[in-house]
Amino acid sequence: MSIESRLADLGVSLPDAPAPAANYVPFVQVGDIVYVSGQISNGPDGLITGKLGADMEVEAGAAAAKTCAISLLAQVKAACGGDLERLVRVVKLTGFVNSIADFTNQPQVINGASDFLVEALGDAGRHSRSAVSAAALPLGVAVEIEGIFQIK
């Protein structure tokens, strides 16, 4: 089954790859590796903002992280000239969680992205990962995730 078919089965339609918000490129390809710039939590109703441990619960943060993963896949699709079947695997994610100083559930928040990628891509979605806290993120978003992907 194709990646796009699996996404459709999950009720996910990839948006157009978000444009960068400043002076950087959305992705860089070096050989068969694509480095995707940080994707912020953004859903159908706009930016998903909040601070974990203050005004946002872990479950809502995980849902925000899933939107980051969807944007990451949209960038990979753009890097692959529109052919997502060129994706070989997710190599690494680095997740940033907008949270209060004593919040310690960053891994559970970033699981929203990790779980989605494994569900959508199977073993190709399994990856190495970091999940860290941030005192603030751009535009007040709850989560930002950058990724490294292998393509063919």
CA of 117: how far to CAs of 80, 110, 112, 137, in Å? 17, 11, 9, 23
Q: Is the pTM of this model over 0.95?
A: yes
Q: Are 113 and 69 in contact (CB under 8 A)?
A: yes
Give the chain's mean pLDDT. Answer: 97
Sorted by where each begins, the domain ranges of the chain are 3-151
Predicted confidence (pLDDT) per residue in 121-149, tens digit: 999 999 999 999 999 999 999 999 999 99
Instruction: Please state, as a whole number, how many other Cβ atoms lie within 10 Å of the Cβ of residue 133.
Output: 18
Predicted confidence (pLDDT) per residue in 11-56, tens digit: 999 999 988 989 999 999 999 999 999 999 999 999 999 999 999 9
Predicted confidence (pLDDT) per residue in 58-77, tens digit: 999 999 999 999 999 999 99
Query: Could you identify the residue written with the tokens 């157009």?
Result: 16
Query: Could you identify the residue written with the tokens 């950087």?
Result: 24
Q: Per CATH, the architecture of 3-151 is what?
A: 2-Layer Sandwich (3.30)
